Structure 1
Amino acid sequence: MGYKNTKDCLDALDARGELLRIDTEIDANIEIGAIQRRVFQAGGPALLFTNVKGCQFPMAANIYGTKERVRFIFRDTIEMVERLMKLKLSPMEALKKPWKYLGAPRTAYHTMPRKVSTGPVMENETTVSKLPQLISWPMDGGGYVTLPQVYSESPEAPGFNGSNIGMYRVQLSGNDFTCDEEVGLHYQIHRGIGHHHAQALKKGEQLKVNIFVGGAPAMTMAAVMPLPEGLAEIFFAGAIGGHRIPMVTRQNGLPIPAEADFCISGSITNIEKPEGPFGDHLGYYSLAHNFPVLKVDHVYHRNDAIWPFTTVGRPPQEDTMFGEFIHELTADLVPSVFSGVHEVHAVDAAGVHPLLLAVGSERYVPYAEERQPQELLTNAMGLLGNTQTSLSKYVFIAAKEDMRDGESCHNIPSFFHHMLQRADLTRDLHFITRTTIDTLDYSGISLNQGSKLVFAAAGSKKRELSSTLPTETTLPDGFCDMQVFAPGILILKGPKHQEKRDHPDSRLDRLGEMLKSAKGIEGFPMIVVADDADFTAQNWDNFLWVTFTRSDPATDMYGVGGFTHAKHWGAEKAIIIDARLKTYHAPALEPDPEVEKRVDALGAAGGPLYGII
């Protein structure tokens, strides 16, 4: 059950007609990533590049490029893992329907890794410089591992129970890293390896780390799985992989998956060096910042090693498929992890962490004549205090009691319509300022620091949303091109941003003052100011990406009738979100035109991508 290594998985995809071998020489510097993105966007097959320029190892991509392919790879185990998770929620389920859970003990048995003395991964040693040096975007700082499984163990409680596997960025070359001796390890806040690193520093030790590439697809899935702290990903890998993961145990060293394609083994030193830039999944570059250095001791690989990779960029990308698959597995867990919360939706089009939509209960005062957000605020704080949802920047949460049958936070246009009809803008906006935010989000006041907003809505409709432009509208100089994006949402073009970081823009205050007299403005409770109104209003994906990746709630929200009372901010008629690119934002990702031309040629008649892109 389950594929034990990369080659077995690719062979199975090949047999299904879902693998394309590309024997043409392809450059890992930008070209190979551009191909992967284009094939993903076209819904194309997995790719095996057999002739990588200047590299002895083949590279594989788009393995997880469609939801159907992901489900096929884990087809033997997904149903039982879902049942196992449900069993954890309610053991009574097993007593009521024991026939549904007959396989659960076997699945639980598979969670335990199997210790072995050696394995294929130990067959060869090489150096970092001989590994594939994937550069995905023109401004990337060097070669990167983009599907790493970074393994560490708690120095205070070593062993599988105290282990963590995360998909943290690994820079192999470039910047000031000593060739073959050092690699950069970029781990973001709220990651399990951070706890291990803190323990090592406290003990005055270096933290041992192994970076696996390839092997069982279950190990890749485990590395991206947002499991609760204290639940080791290696156990989940066995469950979703359908077999006990064989781990090579080494004296005075961390274990290594026997079936991995590669392993970089080393220790995090007390040295930090600049890591980056890197084109990231928000659609912008994350810039160079100091991060820990991993001193490399060994680089192992198997005889038939294949280097799996992906590239990230503005969503949707291949990593979107991971998110959708994880949602399928964990949807039933939401009410148990977050009491009172019925569903959540980390919006991929907005870069995942910038925008979280949720539905919760509002039961605190059931006898009240008018329902208002109370329990919803408790729910929202729970979301911001646990697991990966704690990195959310905007949390829009609605009361389940107000939602019609079939309404869901996964239907984004309908959910926004519901929220904007019911929110009391003078009461229901709750800011958390100068707090931690996602490392990759450059909209805040510094690296890792910005603000959050809980936007709650409960009770009856407060307004009817309009789809007709307000009249008698006068805009300040530099603002123009006002247009209706959706009922209740206006978009307009603003002048180029000129302020310093952590400084509001008085021109947006002036805009709010002038819009107070516009006739019908109350029908548009959300107004977005962008650099390009036409682009932003083109579709929901553009609107979500621009609005929520380019704004910090506390710095970039203004009001039509904005006010502050007893440190509470609200707006009488509408909120204005400044979604322009700021002077301090990281640049957006742009493809290399010359590389794109080469990819076009590969898709022409007679080329290996003909009929695919």
Structure 2
Amino acid sequence: MHLRSLPPFADLSAFLNHFESGGELTRIAAPVAVELEATEIHRRVIAAGGPVLRFDTPCNSAGKPFTRPLVTNLFGTRERVAAGLGLDAADLRRFGQFLAALRAPSPPKGLGAWRELLPVVRAGLAARPKLVSWPKALEPQQVDLTALPVQTCWPGDAGPLITWGMVITRPPGVDDPRSYNLGIYRMQVLGPDRAILRWLPMRGGAKHYRMWEDLGEPMPVAVVIGCDPATLLSAVLPAPEGVGELALAGAINGRRTCLAPCRGIEMHVPVSAEIVLEGTVQPGDSALEGPFGDHTGYYNDAECYPVLQLSALHARADAPYLSTFTGRAPDEPAVIGAAMSDVFAPLLTQAVPDILDVHLPPETCSYRMAVLSVDKRYPGQARRAMMAFWSLLPQFTMTKYVIAVDRDIDIRNWSDVMWAVATRADPQRDLMVLERTPVDQLDFASPEVGLGGKLGIDATIKIGAETNRPFADRLTMPEDLVSRVDGRWEELFGGT
């Protein structure tokens, strides 16, 4: 169950102070351009597993400095992702078990089981957002996005891009934070008070926008740039069905998320926010977004998306501007995705007991390929497991390739996985091709935008009706011999 090993971080500044005190934050005093230069520095640092970067003097292409520092690489390592959840990296799977328990709690069987259920009960109590007054530290600012150190990440980008904006939307009707959707959607800056909101059709923000558009009414939108890490990560976590992101943030922190009413729209935002943008999206108001460099390692096509018209901007006096870049791994989305593999696994195995574990290799753009460990017991089971995987979470509908292997294969070892594909799969029997299924709109390999194929590879040993010939025995050494050689290793090689 989820038991924090770190105290809750009240806001982004507290999180940054934690890393700085531990030597995991580097301040860069020299001027650094937000156009391309900051991205190139970030690329090299994240590839080396380096620290959080705080650029104290970010400047524009003309060398004029911005008044706010730029922070990048916040979640550039698996350990920092876990720290955002209050955990050591080794406990990410335990956190996944906690989410699985929230999704479908098991009835207690005795006093010990009741004790194990207590974290879930506490999480339920902490899940209800708490409404408070507007924090005085969030002061009104001139509505001018160009005054923020917004990065232009790649040379072919259409313009500056807000990359860590946590977009908060709600359905029409009464303003009820329990119905909110929190999503990290990129935002192309068009000018001081206009930005494009880019979201995929299956995302919560897009769903809310369609509801407002059907009514012909403007949709209120709040955008938070920087806040406590639990809320930030809740916006990208696989929240259990019926558990909103704000409720999940409260469960992670072990205390209710405090929300304050916006100044000019009927919305609430976390009081831990560093920078808050308020505005509306008018029905039908859209603009051409992109192209921008993306996680695939390519530029995506330009497409039309809704435009946010800003009406207010509030910020803390010392608020840093949180940003990142998106490109071919390693980048922060890939690091977060790799860490989330351990979080996904318990949810997946709970819903599909045939699946023992899952690995989403970051080098395959995080979710484009998955390797499943299957507890093979009957013919056709691997195919069933692959189809169940594609159906479980919205993220998995974007997965193009799924490889199913037996439990004796290390799914995090490409050598092992490829050996299984080469020796346990037959192309005419074990390839399962699905046509015209939903795929990532940024996938240039698909013949149509948002529509393409999927491939399942059954790399398990075939049993029963799956084959007409017995499978050969795997080469293994007797365990007692392995132990005996282990015991003689120092004698034979002097400890080398």
Contact persistence 2:100–2:350 (CA under 8 A): no
Aligned to 2:71: 60
Aligned pair in 2 of structure 1 residues 242, 135: CA closer, same or farther (>3 Å)? farther
Contact persistence 1:121–1:263 (CA under 8 A): no
Offset of residue 252 of structure 1:
4.7
1:69 to 62, 72, 80: 80
Aligned pair in 2 of structure 1 residues 151, 227: CA closer, same or farther (>3 Å)? same
Query: Does structure 1 residue 130 correspond to structure 2 residue 144?
Result: no
Mean CA deviation greater in 15-24 or 244-253: 244-253
Q: 2:267 & 2:109 partners in 1: Cα distance?
A: 37
1:151-207 C-alpha deviation (Å, 9 max, x unpaired): 1112267522221111111111xxxx3x22320111123212222122222222222
Query: Does structure 1 residue 113 correspond to structure 2 residue 129?
Result: yes
Offset of residue 110 of structure 1:
2.4
Q: 1:29 & 1:287 partners in 2: Cα distance?
A: 21
Aligned to 1:155: 172
Query: Does structure 1 residue 439 correspond to structure 2 residue 441?
Result: yes
1:399-427 C-alpha deviation (Å, 9 max, x unpaired): x4xx42xx232222212211332223212
Aligned to 1:397: 404
Contact persistence 2:341–2:358 (CA under 8 A): no
Aligned to 1:165: 182
2:49 to 43, 56, 62: 43
Aligned pair in 2 of structure 1 residues 410, 156: CA closer, same or farther (>3 Å)? farther
Q: 1:432 & 1:128 partners in 2: Cα distance?
A: 44
Aligned to 1:527: none
Aligned to 1:314: 328
Query: Does structure 1 residue 33 correspond to structure 2 residue 39?
Result: yes
Contact persistence 2:175–2:266 (CA under 8 A): no
What pairs with 1:235-250 in structure 2 (closer than 5 Å)?
235-250=247-262
Aligned pair in 2 of structure 1 residues 85, 94: CA closer, same or farther (>3 Å)? farther
2:414 to 401, 412, 415: 412
Aligned pair in 2 of structure 1 residues 255, 90: CA closer, same or farther (>3 Å)? closer
Contact persistence 1:192–1:229 (CA under 8 A): no
The CA RMSD over aligned residues, in Å, is: 2.5
Query: Does structure 1 residue 204 correspond to structure 2 residue 221?
Result: no
Contact persistence 2:165–2:224 (CA under 8 A): yes
Aligned to 1:326: 340
Provide TM-score, normalisation by structure 1: 0.68
Q: 1:412 & 1:454 partners in 2: Cα distance?
A: 17
Name the aligned partner's letter for residue 384 of structure 2. Answer: T
1:263-302 C-alpha deviation (Å, 9 max, x unpaired): 1212222122111111111111112111121122222211
1:295-340 C-alpha deviation (Å, 9 max, x unpaired): 2222221111111111121112222331233223332221223353
Name the aligned partner's letter for residue 25 of structure 1. Answer: P
Q: 1:82 & 1:94 partners in 2: Cα distance?
A: 21
Aligned to 2:273: 260
Offset of residue 432 of structure 1:
2.1
Contact persistence 1:216–1:241 (CA under 8 A): no
Offset of residue 440 of structure 1:
1.7
1:239-281 C-alpha deviation (Å, 9 max, x unpaired): 2233322111247511111121111212222122111111111
Aligned to 2:476: none
Q: 2:248 & 2:320 partners in 1: Cα distance?
A: 23
Name the aligned partner's letter for residue 183 of structure 1. Answer: A
Q: 1:167 & 1:243 partners in 2: Cα distance?
A: 23
Alignment coverage as a number of residue pairs:
445
Aligned to 2:311: 297
Q: 2:108 & 2:442 partners in 1: Cα distance?
A: 41
Offset of residue 82 of structure 1:
4.9
What pairs with 1:364-513 in structure 2 (closer than 5 Å)?
366=378, 371=379, 374-387=380-393, 388-398=395-405, 400=406, 403-404=407-408, 407-460=409-462
SS at match of 2:9: coil
Q: 1:82 & 1:226 partners in 2: Cα distance?
A: 10
1:494-514 C-alpha deviation (Å, 9 max, x unpaired): xxxxxxxxxxxxxxxxxxxxx
SS at match of 1:260: coil
Contact persistence 1:45–1:62 (CA under 8 A): yes
Q: 1:21 & 1:167 partners in 2: Cα distance?
A: 26
Offset of residue 109 of structure 1:
2.4
Offset of residue 221 of structure 1:
0.5
Q: 1:192 & 1:445 partners in 2: Cα distance?
A: 26
2:349 to 330, 335, 339: 335
Name the aligned partner's letter for residue 374 of structure 2. Answer: G
Mean CA deviation greater in 11-20 or 151-160: 151-160
SS at match of 2:208: helix
Q: 2:391 & 2:105 partners in 1: Cα distance?
A: 24
Contact persistence 2:97–2:343 (CA under 8 A): no
Offset of residue 115 of structure 1:
0.7
Contact persistence 2:97–2:347 (CA under 8 A): no
Uncovered stretches (5+) of structure 1, i.e. residues with no partner? 464-613
What pairs with 1:81-120 in structure 2 (closer than 5 Å)?
81-82=95-96, 84-88=98-102, 89-92=104-107, 95=110, 96-120=112-136
Provide TM-score, normalisation by structure 2: 0.83
Identity %: 27
